[in-house]
Amino acid sequence: MPESPRWLVKQGRAAEALAVLARVRGSRHAELELGEIAEAVAREGGSLRDLFQPGLRAALATGIALAVLQQVTGINTILYYGPIIFRDLLGAAESGDGSTALAATAIVGAVNFASTWIALAVIDRAGRRPLLLAGSAGMALSLARLGASL
């Protein structure tokens, strides 16, 4: 598998990039596409330090907070280990073949899927910020109640 033409151009290996493009796209389009790639690479810039400039700090903090909050909720645990969790929770009600636990996991997945589509439909009308704030508040209350019940 050859290196990507973009990476080759970025490394200063334009001739190799042209050869890869010619092999994939044909020689007729290769030079044109190589020019576009070289132009795009030349316009790129930035470093890790740029993320911490005053205009981007808030966006960076928001992105990190969202990633942390997504992991803190524990939904990945439910999605990944759902059959095992439901098997242990259902215990005696389980027929032994795991079908009830799998059905419960499928219901969780269906609710997750439906909620995602509802959010996609509402997000443009309500706005991202209000939905984010309402969702975060609901998540905090749910986690607090769950913590209090333990």
Q: What is the pLDDT of residues 69-127, one digit of tens each?
A: 878 777 778 788 888 888 888 775 555 567 888 888 899 889 989 988 998 888 888 88
13 — pLDDT class (breaks 50, 70, 90): very high
Short-list 138, 2, 5, CA closest to 73: 138
**Is 3:20 a contact under the CB 8 Å cutoff?**
yes
Short-list 127, 78, 65, 74, CA closest to 104: 78
* Tokens, residue 14: 């334009």
- Tracing tokens 């443009």 back to the chain, one arrives at 124
- What is residue 53's predicted lDDT score, i.e. its pLDDT? 85
Distances 147 to 21, 35, 68, 83, 99 between C-alpha atoms, Å: 56, 58, 18, 23, 30
Task: Kindly tell me if the per-residue pLDDT of 16 is higher than 90.
Answer: yes
Terminal-residue alpha carbon distance, the chain:
53
Mean of per-residue pLDDT scores for the chain = 85
20 — pLDDT class (breaks 50, 70, 90): very high
- What is residue 96's predicted lDDT score, i.e. its pLDDT? 59
pTM score of the predicted model: 0.49
- What is residue 92's predicted lDDT score, i.e. its pLDDT? 52
